[in-house]
Amino acid sequence: MTHNSINQNVTVNDTVDGDVITIGSIDNFYGTIYQYRQEKRAPFACNTAPDPPAYFAGRSDYLKTLTDALQTEEAVALTAVRGMGGIGKTTLAQKLAQDERFGVVLWAELGENYREINESTILKRWVQDLARIRLADDMKLADMRLAARDAVQWAVEADQCQGPLLLVLDDVWPSTISLADSFREVVQKIPQTRILVTSRQTRVISKLDIPPDQHHTLEALNQDEAMQMFINIINTPALTDGLQTEIRRVAQLLEGHPLALKLAANEWQTDLTADYLSELIALYDAGRRDGKPMGDLYFAEGDRRVSSVEVTLKVTLDNLGREAEENPKRRRQFTSLGALSPDAPISEAHLMVIWDEEDRAGMRDLLDHALLERSKAKPALLSQHRLLRAYARSLLRKQNELETVEKRHHDYLIRRARSVFHEQRDKLETWDQQIADAIDQVEALGNDLVKRLAQYQPGQ
């Protein structure tokens, strides 16, 4: 792609980087999209959704139900998926978003905490994926919304993106309903709009005005689906009939819960032998019969214990660093993650600070056991499933170490912020770029402080 015809719209506030233009004003944006229309330029992509994980398996009945609900003659169709943490709502939505019957697909992962930077990041990603235009960081949020609306409208009109528009609002919480409404406003004037919402809570879905007959509860995988997911994760050819029988037993013991199966499969990958699989089955069976293998734990509102996940998590934690005789350290490293915001990714440097030591081997160990993973939105950062973060926080609180680790976490963020505001005053207009690897945690901490202040009562 060349920019010979576009450069006339680029001002001193705009730049061209390869095939991506950075635009600093809404007027210049409108001018560029107008040229795209005049030249009948094709969108660079129709789908902004992340791919489902390679191990995805099953869910054909749910996919058909959701697709049928969204493939109607109505101008706007809404449907929703509700389910407990780790049950696979996001991966189901990612799989649905691949359906080629949809034209433009817009993906927005919301989470519990509203953060303006998250809204702007999502809007900027939509525009860049569709039009190869990067909205400048200092553009007003209101103008970003207008730009996203125009870019989406342009893409919908293109021959390459024929079909209904699908907007996926993933992981909506009571505190992010207003954000979901904001994204809906971006597409409200586009005909044949389809909206899929995922949430843990029925009340959230109801407040988004989704009809009761379009509330779909996502249950666990059936045994065949669970077994296939397990096999997909280990990705080992030529499994014997005996091993397949044992894997089916794992699927049965873990009640088809996707997150539990993921932990179990990654644990077995550390020692792919029949003997170790049999040992794991015995441990999972004992844990299930125990009921609460981790004892008494306190969970914050919005999170709750899941028996099958707890069973597998305990076994994984018991075996972390076993061969290197570093189990206590690895367990401590996992529980330290409980000091972090449940929705925000973390940099490797930040991770070492809350661990109070430099231990890349420990980080790799947690990654290998699926207790950490690379952030899909920001691959340079690390993320963790919210339910695992909830268990880590509960364990940290139980060990009376939450305050200590939170202090290391908060001190690190304060140091990072000071380094920008006091040492780089000439770059304050791009402070969010200077602290990009920690901005999610900074904003999450700010939101948490606001929430605590709102609940504070003098004299308590």
User: Would the pLDDT of 390 be above 80?
Assistant: yes
In this prediction, residue 333 carries a pLDDT of 95
Dihedral pair phi/psi, residue 323, rounded to 5°: -70, -35
Mean pLDDT of 390-406: 93
Q: Which residue, among 314, 254, 242, has the nearest Cα to 278 in the 3D structure? A: 242
Do 173 and 199 meet the contact criterion of CB atoms below 8 Å apart? yes
In this prediction, residue 146 carries a pLDDT of 93
Mean pLDDT of 278-290: 92
Q: Which residue, among 123, 102, 209, has the nearest Cα to 166 in the 3D structure? A: 102
pLDDT digits (tens, 9 = 90+) for 61-92: 999 999 999 987 777 888 999 998 889 999 99
User: Would the pLDDT of 9 be above 50?
Assistant: no
pLDDT digits (tens, 9 = 90+) for 417-454: 777 666 555 554 445 555 667 777 777 776 666 666 66
Do 355 and 362 meet the contact criterion of CB atoms below 8 Å apart? yes
CA angle 258, 259, 262 (to 5 degrees): 85
Supply the Cα-derived Rg of the chain in whole angstroms: 24
In this prediction, residue 447 carries a pLDDT of 66
Q: Which residues contact 91 (CB under 8 A, 6 or more apart)?
A: 52, 53, 56, 258
User: Is residue 265 helix, strand or coil?
Assistant: helix
Q: Which residues contact 364 (CB under 8 A, 6 or more apart)?
A: none
Mean pLDDT of 166-184: 92
Q: What percent of the chain has pLDDT over 90?
A: 53
pLDDT digits (tens, 9 = 90+) for 310-350: 999 999 999 988 776 788 999 999 999 999 887 788 899 99
DSSP structure string for 184-249: HHHHTTSSSEEEEEEES-HHHHHHTT--GGGEEE--PPPHHHHHHHHHHHH--SS--HHHHHHHHH
Mean pLDDT of 138-148: 92
Q: Which residues contact 288 (CB under 8 A, 6 or more apart)?
A: 253, 307, 308, 311
User: Is residue 402 helix, strand or coil?
Assistant: helix
In this prediction, residue 295 carries a pLDDT of 85
Do 218 and 81 meet the contact criterion of CB atoms below 8 Å apart? yes
Answer with the residue of higher pLDDT: 343 or 264.
Answer: 264
Mean pLDDT of 348-372: 93
What's the pTM?
Answer: 0.84
User: Is residue 426 helix, strand or coil?
Assistant: helix
Instruction: Round to whole Å and give the CA distance between 331 and 317.
Output: 6
Answer with the residue of higher pLDDT: 20 or 231.
Answer: 231
| Element spanning 413, H or E | helix 402-421
Q: Which residues contact 112 (CB under 8 A, 6 or more apart)?
A: 173, 175, 176, 302, 342, 343
